[in-house]
Structure 1
């Protein structure tokens, strides 16, 4: 049940309050909201009278929210953002539902995107909206229904659907491989490339070979795509997922820097919040993904 009307200020009043809190003055809020300064003042007075609480402290030319009002406006800001996102979802797909999915760039581009056409064919009523996030986030603060997660089951408060294991191998440009040897310890002295979301990947890889390695340094990248290009141009040796380097091997732009077996450093999961009812679009996507993963090989 929704709270009584007397506890629900108008959206106009909440927008005015949020803008004043963020911008610090009625004139700035009025300019952003395309209102007059007096209209902003009326909205603020209206919400104070409705709630019976003083919300604004006036200090020379700036307006400040009281401590209690600052906490209140954070909740109001989140509610306004959720309402705006819901409106965008409705506008994007007025005949059905939409799924806001957070993806990892390389996995989303090379594994998920080629398969989404099948989901779209089977579920034309669902619009999938993709946005990139490189690290776990708060589902309360971010407008996502689900996310692709890499690593371990270390994201609190979510459900997990395992998608696939990721196996990595060291790769380099052919010219750099002239320094290679049959033992992986040659890589200790090679220029190593690192992904900032996996800062200890090389240490884990060396440990899998029975080699202790600490304090490894080298160029740092935020995405696999740029690291692959740097590797192709001979800037160093990179640990790359096997599903990303097949074409580069075929073209001769990259080769294994060592002939040992790939190493698993983590898994991909679909995750979604435990404390939220599962929407119909998410249920359809999860069922499709599960069917894709359990289908016999073609």
Structure 2
């Protein structure tokens, strides 16, 4: 099973659906979906509504392996069920979609132009549970705001240290050092990030592979060399706040890079839609993102 997932993630056509909104981003995601904060009164109610939304997405006919390679899940989603099956089991066995788990616990305050990840308490137990449930890999996010070589070095070092732990549990780490699209030094930060990622990748031993999730760069094909690196299974792009059409236009200029979109995938969905309208709206977004991931300029 893992070998089949690995082959699919490395070479199949399609893109990754990021369905991993967590505590801080969930109210905004629900509001965009048409559910105000007055509809729930505590975290349990909020996450139950979020799970209903995610379940509606992953069970929709348009959400299929013909376009979707993988889905990134929040920890609580991984532990939930869909149609009587654990979510990772449903995704892989029923839909042929690879399950991936978000493992970071949020970010520290900005320092030296970057935001490091908070300590991930209970990581070993979480990884063991993910492997038990049939999860293929993990994702963890840091943020770059300024072109600070020392700051960028610090977040890449943190990411790669955790990646080695993740690989030790038989899981594929997706390293996500997000350069903010609003950064006043975006192009410079991206150039520094490429250099630091390359240095750390070159230090990995055989058998330790990672995926990279990065912001769509200002310079097209900036990450093409990393996509060809022997220790990189795949390079994927986050939408980073770009509207879907803009994100897809930018993505199509970058060879060897596929999407891992969240808001750009889900923004047009509304709780009030009937099932046919919901699926048609989702299908339109999926088709546009798929084209940008597979048909390059």
> What TM-score do the two structures reach when normalised by structure 2?
0.22
TM-score of the pair, normalised by structure 1 = 0.22
Q: Which has the larger radius of gyration?
A: 1
